[in-house]
A = this chain, B = another copy of it.
Amino acid sequence: MDSHAFQLESWSRTHLDQVERALEQWVTAEAPVGAVHAAPAALVDAMRYSVLDGGKRLRPLLVLAAHEAVGGDSGAAAALRAACAVELIHAYSLVHDDMPCMDNDVLRRGKPTVHVRFGEASALLAGDALQALAFELLTPDDASVECTTQARLCSLLARAAGSAGMAGGQAIDLASVGHKLTEHELREMHQLKTGALLQGSVLMGAYCGQPNAVALAALRDYGAAIGLAFQVVDDILDVTADSITLGKTAGKDADNDKPTYVSLMGLARSQAYAQELLAQAQQALRQSGLHNTLALAALADMVVNRAS
């Protein structure tokens, strides 16, 4: 029996359900208790369109899996908030990335992109508001999340999203179009652009519990490996999959003359590299000293062996 596949299917169903319900509740125009002002409905419509009913929710699942791996009983409220917060950051980055001044993409998850549906100005503001909302979710006014955890989660998320993380990686990506990158430069770009938030998701999940130093170091390595693997596989799928399967425009990278792993090392070596990174991720889990790592292992497997 393939215990990974079995575990992941039922495990994901339960956890995705939690995440979807929480996002549905938290990305809303309703003023929170005690708030003087509500968010304007038109802005919230664009935010909800960006976030709800779409996406694999890989980052939230990584948060929840890492939280369970380190013990996971205490800090469940924090972990669910962290799971939604990383998804909001991911969602905002897609909204801004799709805009005409960036990738100018019209299709995302099989639907018109946010700026196509709501206009550019609304897409810009919806992205901005989603980033702020991520930090709102991490800092509830009730006592459901300890202050030390709130502060730690905000710290991790801000660094994963910012100029030495996701936004920095996108800036390098932008500057690299039409340029030849070395493998080292390409890796650096992707470690920031995609890797930082994936690794950040793993660490945020861990910090919702009580991780020890050995486990943290191992989870950091695991996060780095799958972060990079995710992008290598993305590059592979851009040339091997079609737009329907991907839910976004395939072949965009080559069209845009973007450096990719496939353009740099070819398809076969890219595929081998993805498998090597998967092995590194699994090795890190074995060295973590943690017992409950099946979900993390299965997610790594999914990242590398996904079809879309």
A residues touching B (Cβ–Cβ < 8 Å)? 29, 31-32, 35-40, 42-44, 47, 92-93, 96, 99, 101-102, 119-122, 124-125, 127-129, 131-136, 138-141, 147-148, 150-152, 154-155, 157-159, 161-165, 167-168, 170-172, 174-175, 188, 191-192, 196
Contact = CB atoms under 8 A, between A and B. Distances in A.
Contacts of A128: 92-93, 96, 127-128, 131, 161, 167
Contacts of A174: 121-122, 125
A88 B192 CA distance: 21
Contacts of A154: 135, 138-139, 150-151, 154
Q: How many copies make up the complex?
A: 2
Contact of A101 (B120, B188, B191): B120
Which of A40, A101, A138, A158 gathers the greatest number of chain B CB atoms within 10 Å? A40
The list of the 3 closest CB pairs from A to B, nearest first, reads A132-B162, A39-B163, A101-B120
A289 to B, nearest CB: 23
Interface of A is mostly: helix
A248 to B, nearest CB: 19
Nearest to A32: B164
A37 B42 CA distance: 38
A217 to B, nearest CB: 13
A132 B165 contact: yes
Contacts of A131: 128, 131-132
A125 B161 CA distance: 11
Given A35-B164, A121-B101, A154-B150, A40 B172 contact: yes
Given A138-B154, A174-B122, A44 B102 contact: no
B147 A162 contact: no
Given A148-B147, A174-B125, A47 B163 contact: yes
5 contacts: A39-B168, A101-B124, A134-B158, A139-B151, A141-B155
Given A42-B171, A43-B167, A147-B151, A188 B37 contact: yes
Contacts of A31: 164
Interface centre among A93, A154, A163, A174 (most CB of B within 10 A): A163
Q: Determine which residue in A159, A162, A191 has the highest number of CB atoms from chain B within 10 A of its CB, and name it.
A: A162
A168 B43 contact: yes
A167 B129 contact: yes
Nearest to A27: B163
B188 A162 contact: no
Contacts of A191: 36-37
A196 B141 CA distance: 18
Contact of A175 (B42, B133, B162): B42
